[in-house]
Structure 1
Amino acid sequence: MATQHAYPKLNKTILALSPLALIINGLFSATAVADDKIEVIEIHADHLKDASLLGSSEQLLTELGVDFSAAGGVSSLPILNGMMGDRVKVLVDGADITAACANQMNPPLSYLSANQIKSLTVIAGISPVSAGGDNIAGVIHVNAIAPTFSDSTSLTWQAGSLAAQYRSVDEGVSLGASAQLASKTFSLSYQGAYSDAKSYQDGNGETVLDTLYRSQNHVLIAALKSDKQQLAIKLNHQHIPFQGFANQYMDMVDNTSVGLTTQYQRQTELGDFSAHLNWHKVSHEMGFFTDEKTGKMPMKTDAEDASYQLKFAHEFNNTSAITLGQEYYHYEIEDWWPPVAGSMMMGPNEYHNIHDGKRQRLAAFAQLDQQLNTAWSMSGGIRIEQVRTQAGLVQNYNSMPMTMPGMAMPMKSIDAKAAEQFNQQDRKQSDTLVDATIVTRYAFDNFKELQFGLARKNRAPNLYERYSWGQSAMATSMIGWYGDGNGYIGDIHLAPESAHTASITYAMAGDTSPWQWSTNLWYSAVNDYIDADVVGRFNRSNIADNKRHILKFTNVDAHLYGVRFDGSVQLHDSKNQGQITLKAKVNATRGERDDSNDPLYQIQPLQSELKLIQQQDNWQHAISWQWVDSKHRIDARRLENQTDSYHLVNIQSSVTWQQLSMTFAITNFLDTQYELPLGGVNIAEFKADTSQGYQQLRGQGRSLNVSMNYTF
């Protein structure tokens, strides 16, 4: 269901002013609009309890308009408004978890399974300053903490569940379990998930190499409450023993993490106060574990996040409210590559990629929400952040001069020289970020409204963009989360990105009309967009067309713009046939560099979807048709591939009988062979057969999926 909050609860209508919040509404329920306002605050998982939600949260977020850059089976990177990576701020229970990997193999969404999600919010482009900073594309809030209490004074059993899923395309098995105990003042819950999959098959029945994975996640949540306050503590653990990354030169061979989140909320006479404390530690290792992509090089990372967020919301009267906040984030990382026994190139020393890396953010914000009259309302705010980064001295595998055949004098390697140059520089950097947003809304009546939004959003460079110092083909190709097969060099003096975004949204819905729809147009001009320029080339074969580029991160100006339409109509409603609803969505995005008008990397081509849903008693049936246009606007600097257009048909039926629910689905029903426009290149298949070049990563073929969920 979608939670609605109507005026005058202004301190809880902040997210309702997001243009995408209206769009989210149409993606879930044709009847999700409140009778008095077209406000949608956040999407809850009450209607998402079937076992098909086991595994990655990618499926859930895709339905909310989020695109994904392909990576491992549980580690895809979200894309909002054509921008990926750290440009999208992903908060898990308020915690800012940093991707601690040169390839971003462990992004925030990889640390929880879809069955652990209790609520989420997606805000593209113009996000309120209270929603989070250090981003220019938008904010994704994912929440697993949602304690429930009983009327009993003693601790009693509340609910439990067991879930299982099987997918034929990769012989994937997912398992989930949950349990909850509660009293009037105490709540204790557990959610666990396990997934295991082989490399999947494409539409031609061929194995897409190195797409196998295994993962498990565990969450334990305890909460205490009284009449005016609540304390919740979450302990989470994740272990991924292996995860293949077809579009990277390395794979994940271990990712083990533990985290602790504490949330405190208190109601006072002056307003509502909340405090979040977060700590997360991860041990990460890259290497090779499968014959589908072989190698010997190890890479290790230890990292730790710690942060707090303080927020106070005061309602002046029934027409205005202010929210004040102060936040601090601390991140530190050690990234080193152990020497390879018997290798002259990778030894005898450790390669220090990032040594003693730190990134600290100190932020404060103020936000005002005002109901001007019965038709007009506005939300505006300002956020100021100080971001400081630093890194210690580094070293190459070998800093000694080497003599090669035909060389008169010994010479140091290119990476040994690069390490010396890096160590001689001042590596401490400090950036001041000033965000400002304002959104106004005009309600024509209870069922039609128009929104205008303007925002200035900023993001400071991450540690890999600044401090990746290696310059050889081997060193640079270990850096980058783009899946393009190229290599990347950092720049200590990169400036923060500043995006100036304008957005307009019109939405229409009615309690008596079968129609509801919304359309959103947006434009972002980004100063100092962090892109990359070609500074070298390499080739891992003797075929000229197999060249790859060495790129250096650089600041350029760029612009992106797009349009999105979402709509639904109820076609039929009767006792015999139930409710029949047709949903449609279309999304178009473009992005270019200002200096050359060249396309930006990984911009999703025009895409659309039609979905027909029948709901009758305990049964729900759905058939969807997805179409994605061909991709011809490509980034030549990154040697991006063109892709052909394709369409997919998916079928699903679900039934609930007492405490048991079952879902039967066939994805890619026509077994279409297609390439993923945002998939990058398949390096695993290139290593297996270099004569085929760097081909685009192919999508999954037909899959029969069966899932069940039993509650008790």
Structure 2
Amino acid sequence: MKKTVVATALSAALSTSLLSITLYPSSALATEVITVIGSPITLTEQATIVPTTNTQADFGDQLVRLPGLSISRNGPVTALIQYRGLFGDRVGVSIDGVDINGAGPNAMDSPLSHVLPEPGLTATLYRGIAPVSAGIQTLGGKLNIQSDAAGLFSMANGFQGNINTSFTTPGSAQQFQSNAFYASDNAFVSGAFMYQQRDKRESGNDVEIPNSNYLRNGAKLRAGYELGKHQFDVSYQTLNTNESGTPALAMDIKFIDAAWYRLGYQYSHTEDRLLSISVFGNDNQHIMDNFSQRMPMTPAMARQNDTDSVAQGINATYTQLLLSGTLTLGVDVQHHRNNSVITNPNNAMFFVNNFTKVERDTGSVFAQWDIASSTYESTLGIRATRVETDAGLAGSNMVMMNDAIATLVNTFNSADRSQSDNMIDIAATTAYHFTEHTNIVLGISQKNRAPTYFERYTWLPLGITGGMADGFNYIGRLDLTHETARQFEIGLDMSFSKWTVSPRLFYQDIENYITGSPSMNMAANMVSTMMSGRAPFQWTNTDAVIKGADITVTGDISGSLSLNMVASFQHGNRDDIDDALFRIAPEQLITRLQWASTLFDSPAFFNVTSELAGRQSHVSMLQNEQETAGYGLVHLSALWQVTPAMQITVSANNVFDKHYTPHTGGVNRIMNTSVAVGERLPGAGQELQMSFSYQF
């Protein structure tokens, strides 16, 4: 790790602090309520990760009820969160406080693919502008997925556990998950195990969706110990993904072996002072290819990409009361390393040293003040971040036989590949209590994002886009500068009788937005044209504007009938040319009615969900993006609490077997399937699922 980053961060660590998170647990393995101390509760939204209700392997389907959030999907285990028109690396995702550094440059092992459910696991989205304490580079928002240690320490003493199973047809989908937990007066130990598999998925017209298979298993161990004012918490997780399809990308997953760990420590000096330190890391081995699960055009075009990644980090925070609020100071240090080598199993001489010893070192410090009074609640924060990146030498066996490739290698290897970005984030949000039942929410921020390693260091034109999957080859640009987004938000939180209504309007102007523009590199253009028949794009700094709105409505229609509604709309444009941003989700309205009743004297809940998506005609002409039609789906589900320990869930998704193509679902890249190459991948047709859960 580079000394300048480490020295800056460690010197600040001695005087830093953090926003503390508290869970209010139940006495059993049940859903818990999460509250962010010092941050207005009206500014956060949450969902619970429940293994018996997911229809996608990576649990991305459980998050779409959060306002402004949608999923961009390239395969069954490759969910990329899109929030208010921004997705991929622009949206921060942490799992139990660990920021995952994926091995695949096309986000096949996206952060959501690393989620393994355990009791009380919640996904908390900072609605709108995330506070600076939420993490580094939260330009596109932040999603925290965690089961916090405070809740586990508060569990009842003794042993308890649960078993969950679910089966879905068609496609022979199976999921098994178990948890075990033991607590004493000052310690706990927990374990979780998961197995998932599916053969295929079918669309509404009974057409098999290409390469919709997956196979995964994983385990997680966790332990905690309290000694007076000291609290220790350690976690280790391993998750193995075997052959799984990614039809929107040029390759499929052969395997992903992923592991992450975290050691947490808290010291409560007094009731109003808290020191937290967290050491974490993850290690991923990932192989993808274009021949195990699909047929390459010729044996000479068979490719295998061996990738690996390592991440290590430490953060320290200190929180104390200040005046009428809470002051939080913090420091974060992270080190990432990535490698990638492309080979051909039919040609032992062929190789491309795609990314070699690519390193990214980040040092960041922040200060945040949360203040509350009888008339308002505010969060004010500033964060300073430095990101340093570097890369090793490029190489390929094709240098001796192709002058254009030799030019690309020589140009890259002779260039100064060491780059740095210095960024200042500022965020201010206020909830003003206008009346007893109405809050006015205002927010303004400046957030930044440094270029990813593939945006800078892709020296050979390849289809590497971080999961954008537009089908074009891309080449990197060493002199890219960081993105700077300035965002404004205004909204209301209104409550009356048994109803709450919460609308938001937002506007975001992004300076130096990184996207693809036609390449002017003659050598890269020659290579790309030879390989794919068309010139590549090059990552470029431009400008962009994203604006939109989202609204949530919740309430009780009667004593046993409730309604929950989430509507979202976003519109994105480039400023340098008259063109839309690529793969932006259309307007969406999700409405759920829930009826609470009894069945054989046991509680039962019946749900009807309507999912409406609008037509997306505002598409990127430069990237040959296709328009998509709107659609409407109906889903039914029922939950029966047979006994306090036993629960049965049945569901029918897409009840009317509607054929549709989600705009964020990508296009097919696989030949000789029921879906033509270049056509939109269809969504799943009617699926029936039965789940069983037992607590002991």
Determine if the TM-score, normalized by the shorter chain, exceeds 0.5.
Answer: yes
Out of 483, 490, 506, the residue aligned to residue 492 of structure 2 is: 506
Indicate the percent of aligned positions where both proteins have the same amino acid: 24
The code of the aligned residue for 2:457 comes to Y
1:581 partnered with 2:562: yes
Counterpart residue type for residue 694 of structure 1: G
Instruction: Give the superposition deviation at 1:40.
Output: 4.9
- Cα distance change on mapping 1:563 and 1:13 into 2, 3 Å: farther
**8 A contact 1:456–1:498 mirrored in 2:** yes
Report the counterpart of residue 141 of structure 2 in structure 1: 138
From the superposition, tell whether residues 604 and 124 of structure 1 become closer, same or farther in structure 2 (CA, over 3 Å).
same
Aligned residue among 87, 93, 117 for 1:90: 93
1:254 aligns with 2:255: yes
Contact 1:57 1:109 in 2 (8 A): yes
Q: CA deviation at 1:439?
A: 1.0
List alignment gaps of at least 5 residues for structure 2: 1-16, 24-30, 520-524
- For 2:583, give the aligned amino acid: Q
What is the identity, as a one-letter code, of the residue corresponding to 1:707? S
Tell me, in whole angstroms, the C-alpha distance in 1 between the residues paired with 2:193 and 2:431. 42
What displacement does 1:541 show?
13
1:644 corresponds in structure 2 to 629
Q: Is the 8 A contact 1:196 1:213 kept in 2?
A: yes
The match for 1:172 is 173
| Deviation of 1:415 (Å) | 2.4
Cα deviation digits, residues 429-451 of structure 1 (max 9, x gap) = 01001000111221134432111
Please tell me the residue identity of whatever aligns with 1:309: N
Match of 1:654 among 639, 646, 649: 639
- The residue number in structure 2 matching 1:71 is 74
Contact 1:124 1:137 in 2 (8 A): no
Conserved 8 A contact 1:125-1:501: no
How far is 1:485 from its partner? 1.7
| Closer, same or farther: CA 42–642 of 1 in aligned 2, 3 Å | closer
Give the TM-score taking structure 1 as reference length: 0.86
Query: 1-side partners of 2:639 and 2:576: how far apart?
Result: 52
Deviations 1:150-172 (A, max 9, x none): 799xxx64211111111113321
Q: Structure 1 residue 44: deviation in Å? A: 7.0
Counterpart in the other structure of 1:23: none
Q: Deviations over 1:402-435 (max 9, x none)?
A: 3xxxxxxxxx243232111111110000100100
SS at match of 1:616: strand
Matching of residue 385 in structure 1 with residue 388 in structure 2: no
- Distance, in Å, in 1 between the alignment partners of 2:83 and 2:317 is 26
The amino acid that maps onto 1:392 is G
Alpha-carbon contact 1:681-1:694 (below 8 Å) kept: yes
User: Is 1:694 equivalent to 2:684 in the alignment?
Assistant: no
Give the counterpart letter for 1:310 in structure 2: A
State the alpha-carbon separation in 1 of the partners of residues 609 and 534 from structure 2: 38
- Equivalence for 2:11: none
**Equivalent position to 2:318, from 312, 323, 335:** 312
| Aligned residue type for 1:585 | V
- 1:268 is matched with 269
Does structure 1 residue 148 correspond to structure 2 residue 152? yes
Mapped to 1, the partners of 2:578 and 2:155 lie a distance apart of 63
Q: Is the 8 A contact 2:77 2:108 kept in 1?
A: no
Going from structure 1 to structure 2, the CA distance change for 1:515 and 1:548 (only over 3 Å counts) comes to: farther
Which residue number in structure 2 is paired with residue 409 of structure 1?
none
Shift of 1:585: 2.2
**Contact 1:192/1:218 (CA < 8 Å) preserved in 2?**
yes
Deviation of 1:376 after TM superposition, in Å, equals 2.2
Instruction: State the alpha-carbon separation in 2 of the partners of residues 15 and 125 from structure 1.
Output: 21
Q: Do structure 1's residue 710 and structure 2's residue 661 form an aligned pair?
A: no
Q: Deviations over 1:52-77 (max 9, x none)?
A: 24842212211223211112212211
Instruction: Provide the rounded CA distance (Å) in 1 between the counterparts of 2:465 and 2:46.
Output: 37
SS of the aligned residue for 1:348 comes to: strand
Deviations 1:516-575 (A, max 9, x none): 110000010000000101235999999xxx9766211101011001101110231111xx
Query: Structure 1 residues 150, 697: closer, same or farther in 2, change over 3 A?
Result: closer
- 1:485 is aligned with what amino acid? G
Q: State the secondary structure of the residue aligned to 2:63.
A: helix
Between the aligned partners of 2:454 and 2:604, the Cα distance in structure 1 is 49
Q: 1:323 aligns with which of 297, 305, 328?
A: 328
Indicate whether 1:523 and 2:507 are aligned: yes
TM-score (norm 2): 0.88
Contact kept, 8 Å, 1:437 with 1:455, in 2: the verdict is yes
Alignment partner of 2:439 out of 432, 449, 452 = 449
1:459 pairs, out of 440, 444, 449, with 449
Q: Is 1:560–2:563 an aligned residue pair?
A: no
Cα–Cα, structure 1 residues 214 and 133, in superposed 2: closer, same or farther, change >3 Å? same
The aligned amino acid for 1:616 is S
1:433 partner letter:
M
- The answer for the alignment partner of 2:408 in structure 1 is 418
CA drift at 1:11: 8.8
2:556 alignment partner in structure 1? 570
Q: Is the 8 A contact 1:570 1:582 kept in 2?
A: yes
In the alignment, does 2:684 pair up with 1:679?
no
Residues paired across the two proteins, number: 652
Change (3 A) 1:32 1:237: closer
Question: 3-state SS of the aligned residue for 1:688?
Answer: coil
Q: 2:476 aligns with which of 490, 498, 523?
A: 490
Q: Summarize deviations over 1:651-699 as a string: whole Å, max 9, x none.
A: 0000112211111100000100001101111112xx2269944101110
In the alignment, structure 1 residue 534 sits paired with structure 2 residue 518: yes
CA spacing shift, 1:498–1:15, aligned 2, 3 Å: farther
Distance 2:651 2:527 in 1: 44
Q: Note the C-alpha offset of 1:584.
A: 2.0
Q: Which residue of 2 aligns with 1:576?
A: none
Greater mean alpha carbon deviation, residues 125-134 or residues 112-121? 112-121
Pair 1:314–1:691, CA change in 2 (3 A)? closer
